[in-house]
Amino acid sequence: MRLRFLGAMGEVGRAAILVETREARILLDYGVKLSEPEPLFPAHVATKDLDAVIISHAHLDHSGAAPLFMLNGDAKIYATDMTFKLCDILLRDFLKLSGYYIPYEVLEVEELLRRGIRVEYGETIRVKDAEITFLNAGHIPGSLQVLINADKSVLYTGDYSLKKTRLLRGLNPGPKDVDAVITEATYALVEHPERRELERRFVSSVKEVVETGGRVLVPAFAVSRSQEIMCVLEAYNFRDFMALDGMAVRVLDLFLENRKYIDGYQLLYSASKHITRITDRRKRKRAAERPGVIISPAGMLKGGPAVFYAERVAEDPYSAIFLVSFQIPGTPGARLLEEGKLIHGGVDVKVKARVEQFLFSAHSGRSELREYLKRFNPDAKIFVIHGEEDSCKDLAEFARKAGYEAILPEKGRSYEI
């Protein structure tokens, strides 16, 4: 069995791994890296050479380049039904924002949806001499870990989370006895806070602001984080005004319609009864003036209705902006945290609202990544990708100390296992 890495080496973005068995060529993910001014694509692979393409989950760093396979040939693309449905929302949005730089169109996205082959958690399919099994990765609804068994076996973790959240119960661990593991390393250098403690801190901060008549803007990712924040507030019986805006509203409805992918369905369902869906400009303006919580993309304040709300909340010392994820350096969210400033109508504004960060995460943190690696048999080769260089190195170093052969894959090389 041979592995070739086409992206995500020492970076978070454009995941793409080619697995070659004696007979089959299987591509794991084909994502993009969002960067300015244009998105970056993984190395090229010809559609006609592929027997199967598997999309681990809908995030663009795993799915963003997949519609390219619809341009010619007849590649078979496998993912969960939820992944295809989320891809429909995310890929269209990607085209709207960066269409000029993207070498496919809406037609190809529609074709992907139509031709995509739906797989279930726990299912095994056969592609030539390879058996491919799909396991729940616990990262976002529909996310997969992929196990490929031919004369050798390899487990691709995709993005994964060991921890239970309000929305998902977390990863369903794969077999321990494999020849190779391809692991993500996004937060190899970051220890995530204890979940319940984090939730309590978040909810009590929200209540403090709202009880004094303030507004809390929660910029959040449209997929999963926004809905999880609703669930957290619901779990603590938050009963003041709560609004949801932007793409997060469509994703909420998708989750409500696809119960089997949502472990915390009951909580999400009751939260959905207490939330006001913002669907037009008039409602948005009104929501921005009311005491309460507004959950809205984008999670790093880079576009989306969150920008509209941020401009209205920024100068009010009784209100707050609570960021609920890691903020990539250079984004408006990161700048808000570091310098307490936002750009409003082209000018810098000193933010008077309370600004805080709560590190919710859909990935495994340092300890979880380590804990998961340690379970594999001692001769498994560990390939570390999908993290900044320092993070990948750190996790590889840990694996070596634990007795494994750990590899930081390089561009253009093939690895025999």
Binding interface with Zn ion (CB under 5 A): 59, 61, 159
Residue 61 or 245: which CB sits closer to Zn ion? 61
Query: Which residue matches tokens 């494999």?
Result: 178
Least distance in Å: CB of 23 to Zn ion?
29
Least distance in Å: CB of 77 to Zn ion?
18
Least distance in Å: CB of 178 to Zn ion?
21
Residue 59 or 312: which CB sits closer to Zn ion? 59
- Residue 296, H or E segment: strand 292-296
Residue 159 or 245: which CB sits closer to Zn ion? 159
Residue 59 or 354: which CB sits closer to Zn ion? 59
Least distance in Å: CB of 80 to Zn ion?
14
Least distance in Å: CB of 93 to Zn ion?
15
Least distance in Å: CB of 276 to Zn ion?
28
To 10 degrees, what angle do helices 81-98 and 247-257 make? 170
Q: Give yes or no for a contact between 362 and 140, defined as CB atoms under 8 angstroms apart.
A: yes
Measured CA to CA, the distance from residue 80 to residue 214 in angstroms comes to: 41
11 contact partners, CB below 8 Å, separation of at least 6 = 33, 386, 387, 388, 389
Tokens of 38: 């244009």
84, 85, 87, 89: CA torsion to nearest 10: 170
- Residue 277, H or E segment: strand 276-277
Least distance in Å: CB of 363 to Zn ion?
7
Residue 14 or 284: which CB sits closer to Zn ion? 14
Tokens of 42: 């993984």
Tokens of 305: 């209705």
Measured CA to CA, the distance from residue 250 to residue 134 in angstroms comes to: 26
Q: Give yes or no for a contact between 225 and 326, defined as CB atoms under 8 angstroms apart.
A: no
Residue 16 or 209: which CB sits closer to Zn ion? 16
Residue 20 or 159: which CB sits closer to Zn ion? 159
Kindly tell me the burial class for residue 298, based on how many C-beta atoms sit within 10 Å of its own C-beta (0-12, 13-18, 19 or more).
Answer: buried
